Structure 1
């Protein structure tokens, strides 16, 4: 699996984003491409400490460890996974702005390396290493880019 922290891995994700257009259609799910681009910004903002998500204590206690174990596997995320309320985008964002902002957020990983991650405790998975943050971000972005065929 590639790393979002390395220049090449970072570039590979951004190159896939660049292939999207305002008329890209999803292969599953309900989001438009613009909503997906804004949705993908939210977990990155959590890692950067600029978006605070209410911890899901009960869900984390019941499912956090097993979900975190799945995260560490090479298996890509499946379709129809639940998402945090704060990550749901119901309005229709401007495609070009959402794309530009997502790319700028992703570029920070390669520029700052592990220092980009400002929080250690994920609101659902609990304490996470830099490697686990890397996997989470990569797999989430990959999941939604595959959703839109890139």
Structure 2
């Protein structure tokens, strides 16, 4: 189904082990390499995306179309998200943060990631709608989160080099 170069086990390892280890190095005044988000805005943004992947916002699915097929293929591609990819749900100006501190935001993100894996363990056939990528299943959401977290961890210098595209010699079989 997928041409994505990371196995499910590698994606889970990245989200459950690498992300918490990397976020320890994120500071509240850390300056991003691009974009306007603060560290706490970025962490809260990721939390919102994980909630989205569990259907918490009840978005309607976009109708099937060739354009939707193209963006779903882009999601599965061995390429990072573009630095300049705008978030249509985000205003031009940053809104307020919702957690009392960066540490609290990180704790909530990690708890929400655990909920994501529990949600799909209990409902393996569940799907949820992403506003750009359409209706996604658990594997597709894993790929989305891998690419999305990778994008923002690079944004704040927590991953020094891109994990995508993955070198051919480094591929692990599923």
TM-score bucket of the superposed structures, by smaller chain: 0.7 to 0.9
**Higher RCO (CA 8 Å, separation ≥ 6 residues):** 1
Structure 1 residue 40 corresponds to structure 2 residue 46: yes
2: distance between equivalents of 1:22 and 1:130?
A: 32
Q: Normalising by structure 2, what TM-score?
A: 0.70
Calculate the aligned-residue CA RMSD, in Å. 2.9
The aligned residue for residue 105 of structure 2 is: 98
2: distance between equivalents of 1:19 and 1:2?
A: 26
Larger Rg computed on CA atoms: 2
Q: How does 1:1-150 map to 2 (within 5 A)?
A: 1=6, 3=8, 6=12, 8-9=13-14, 10-53=16-59, 57=62, 61=65, 63-85=67-89, 90-93=95-98, 94-111=101-118, 114-115=121-122, 118-150=126-158
Q: Normalising by structure 1, what TM-score?
A: 0.80
2: distance between equivalents of 1:112 and 1:92?
A: 26
Deviates more, 1:106-115 or 1:91-100: 106-115
Structure 2 unmatched runs, 5+: 1-5, 159-174
1: distance between equivalents of 2:91 and 2:152?
A: 13
1: distance between equivalents of 2:91 and 2:60?
A: 12
Number of aligned residue pairs: give it: 147
